[in-house]
């Protein structure tokens, strides 16, 4: 079949394999709303500038609305012979409104059309991710507030190091995800520039008004170099990098949920909403959703890498290689949105098992650091010496198989005479976390204050 767009110059149609590798309509049809919005803005501008008549512009805009309604309603017949969304829309427009459709493409090219669509799409996707992130941040901040004083072990190397609070742990993710949120905001700001009006690559001699389309399409400003406008994909790479980093953050919490849900940890319990089970093994609560969230960085990093490989060493301006950008973007951003939503659901759903968490925090002489710090602060010994004394006291407790707080004052004084009964105030896990009042520390009062601060901050979003 002869491709309609290239006119009569090509004696033969493209071979079947060429048609298959070349057509993009299967995936770029997803850009129809953005494509039509761009065309509507372009038509209005052409009319305002006197490049087409107002009547033509009105016909075009009305026709485009009709096309969009057809696609919205699932009634549009996409044609692979028309290759891409741009030609599918224009071709249908021509059927609907006739000759004026032929004027729409004045002073623009598919090159700036495709990039306009993709920037609008990415902006929309970021807006949806932001909404998802705000919801997740809320879920985390609420869980943090509810568990501001729930004690759990703070791990290094998956070994209990010091007691912390569950709320503090949740707030760590609030911090990480709020930076992700900031990265998306920065990416959005940077990409929100209007490429439309760059034409094929050199700009145009028509007296277009790029400020007008910039405004109508909600862009911040017009891109200032036509070659750059049609060639650059850094906006997408930046967005995919931000998505990758966000997905990595989610995967860290997901891994924790998987570990915490094990029969050995039992730190938290997820309900049936986010687990699957076995018809014959009632104890099985497979954290499938957490595992899937843990896995998502794979495909999102893969998408980033895919686009990076495509763009590396690609000369100016447009090359067909760039057609590979869309599927990666769609898949990565869809999956991140899904992962964020699933995580918000899990955070709300999970119930910390307070008794088990406290017992875990209380094992392993987790307040040894508190004892050492007490010695430094109260007995005024240098840090390294305090550690030595602490080591001996811990060894005694270990020998007696008791907690540090179960030792008698005399036993401790036998090791260092400067120890007073005031030491007992720092040896419990409650005392330990309560004492971590330094800015950013795990003290319940800190956690409460930070949770409130975040909830307030998120209220307006």
120 binds its own copies (CB under 8 A): no
CA 423/CA 405 separation, integer angstroms: 9
- Looking at residue 263, the DSSP 8-state letter turns out to be T
Tokens 């009006």 belong to 197
Examine residue 23 and tell whether it contacts its own copies (CB under 8 A).
no
Query: With binding defined as CB under 8 A, does residue 162 bind its own copies?
Result: yes
Nearer residue to its own copies within complex by CB, 88 or 390? 390
- Say how far apart CA 444 and CA 285 lie, in whole Å: 31
Q: Quote the least distance from Cβ 409 to its own copies, whole Å.
A: 19
For β-strands 193-194 and 221-222, DSSP reports them as: parallel
CA 105 to each of CA 89, 110, 111: distance values in angstroms, whole numbers, following the listed order: 12, 9, 12
Residues 221-240 that bind its own copies (CB under 8 A): 222-229, 231-232, 234, 237-238
Q: Binding its own copies by CB under 8 A: which of 31, 118, 148, 339?
A: 339
d(CA 91, CA 275): 48
The two structure tokens encoding residue 384? 């390294």
* 164 part of the interface to its own copies, by CB under 8 A: yes
- Residue span binding its own copies (CB under 8 A) among the ranges 63-71, 120-128, 394-402, 415-423: 394-402
Handedness of CA 158, 164, 170, 171 (dihedral sign): negative
- How many chain residues interact with its own copies (CB under 8 A)? 194
Residue nearer to its own copies on the CB measure, 69 or 220: 220
What does DSSP assign to residue 13? P
Q: Assess 261 for contact with its own copies (CB under 8 A).
A: yes
Residue placing its CB nearer to its own copies in the complex, 69 or 278: 278
Sequence-distant (6+) residues with CB within 8 A of 12 are none
CB of 320 to its own copies, least distance (A): 4
- Radius of gyration of the chain measured on its C-alpha atoms: 31
**Binding residue for its own copies, selected from 326, 365, 412, 451, defined by CB under 8 A:** 365
Asked if 418 is part of the footprint of its own copies (rule: CB under 8 A), the reply reads no
- One of 121, 184, 219, 318 touching its own copies (CB under 8 A): 318
Exposed/middle/buried for residue 66 (C-beta within 10 Å: 0-12, 13-18, 19+): middle
Instruction: Work out how close the CB of 122 gets to its own copies at its nearest, in angstroms, rounded to a whole number.
Output: 14
**DSSP secondary structure string, 92-161?**
HHHHHH-GGGGGTTTT--HHHHHHHHHHHHHHHHHHHHHHHHHHHHHHHHHHHHHTTT-EEEEEETTEEE
Tokens of 30: 């997803």
Which residue's CB is nearer to its own copies, number 81 or number 308?
308
Cα 150 to Cα 161: distance, rounded to the nearest angstrom: 16
Q: How far is CA 333 from CA 20, 115, 303, 344, in A?
A: 25, 17, 10, 17
- Are the CB atoms for 145 and 169 separated by under 8 Å? no
Q: Which of 312, 401, 408, 410 binds its own copies (CB under 8 A)?
A: 312
Q: Give 77 or 384: the residue with its C-beta nearer to its own copies.
A: 384
Complex with its own copies: residue 207 or 218, whichever CB lies closer: 207
* Least distance CB 174 / its own copies (angstroms): 8
**Smallest gap from residue 397 Cβ to its own copies (A):** 9
Nearer to its own copies, 33 or 248 (CB): 248
Burial of residue 128, with CB atoms counted within 10 A of its CB: 0-12 exposed, 13-18 middle, 19 or more buried: middle
> From the CB of 37, what's the least distance to its own copies, in Å?
20
Q: Taking CB under 8 A as the rule, which mask of x and - marks residues 45-84 in contact with its own copies?
A: ------x---------------------------------
Interaction of residue 321 with its own copies, rule CB under 8 A: yes
Please select the residue that binds its own copies; options are 303, 333, 423, 458, rule is CB under 8 A: 303
List the catalytic residue out of 221, 262, 271, 278.
Answer: 278
For 169, the enclosing helix (H) or strand (E) is helix 166-191
Q: Catalytic amino acids?
A: 157, 278
């Amino acid at each position: 079949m002869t491709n309609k767009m290239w006119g009569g110059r090509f004696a033969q149609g493209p071979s079947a394999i060429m048609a298959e590798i070349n057509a993009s309509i299967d995936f770029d049809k997803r850009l129809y709303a953005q494509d039509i919005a761009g065309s509507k803005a372009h038509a209005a501008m052409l009319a305002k500038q006197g490049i087409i008549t107002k009547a033509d512009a009105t016909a075009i805009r009305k026709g485009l609305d009709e096309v969009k309604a057809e696609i919205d309603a699932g009634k549009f017949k996409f044609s692979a012979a028309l290759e891409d969304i741009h030609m599918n829309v224009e071709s249908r427009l021509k059927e609907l409104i006739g000759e004026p459709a032929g004027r729409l493409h004045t002073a623009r090219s598919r090159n700036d059309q495709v990039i306009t669509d993709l920037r609008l799409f990415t902006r929309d996707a970021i807006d949806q991710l932001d909404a998802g992130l705000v919801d997740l941040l809320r879920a985390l901040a609420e869980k943090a507030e509810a568990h501001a004083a729930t004690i759990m072990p703070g791990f290094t190397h998956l070994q209990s190091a010091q007691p912390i609070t569950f709320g503090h742990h949740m707030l760590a993710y609030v911090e990480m995800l709020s930076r992700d949120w900031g990265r998306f905001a920065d990416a959005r700001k940077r990409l929100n520039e209007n490429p439309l009006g760059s034409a094929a690559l050199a700009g145009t001699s028509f007296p277009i008004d790029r400020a007008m389309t910039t405004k109508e399409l909600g862009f911040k400003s017009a891109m200032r170099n036509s070659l750059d406008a049609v060639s650059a994909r850094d906006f997408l790479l930046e967005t995919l990098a931000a998505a990758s980093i966000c997905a990595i953050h989610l995967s860290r919490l997901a891994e924790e949920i998987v570990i915490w849900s094990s029969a050995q940890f039992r730190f938290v319990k997820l309900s049936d909403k986010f687990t699957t089970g076995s018809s014959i093994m009632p104890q099985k609560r497979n954290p499938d959703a957490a595992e899937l969230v843990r896995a998502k960085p794979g495909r999102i990093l893969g998408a980033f890498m895919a686009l990076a490989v495509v763009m590396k060493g690609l000369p100016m301006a447009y090359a067909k290689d760039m057609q590979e950008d869309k599927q990666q973007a769609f898949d990565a951003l869809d999956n991140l949105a899904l992962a964020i939503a699933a995580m918000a659901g899990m955070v709300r759903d999970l119930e910390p098992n307070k008794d088990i968490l406290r017992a875990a925090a209380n094992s392993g002489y987790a307040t040894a650091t508190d004892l050492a710090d007490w010695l430094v602060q109260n007995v005024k010994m240098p840090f390294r010496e305090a550690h030595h004394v602490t080591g001996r006291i811990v060894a005694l407790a270990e020998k007696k198989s008791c907690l540090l707080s179960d030792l008698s004052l005399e036993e401790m004084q036998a090791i260092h005479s400067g120890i007073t009964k005031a030491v007992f105030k720092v040896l419990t896990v409650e005392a330990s976390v309560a004492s971590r009042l330094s800015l950013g520390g795990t003290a319940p009062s800190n956690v409460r204050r930070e949770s409130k601060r975040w909830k307030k901050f998120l209220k307006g979003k």
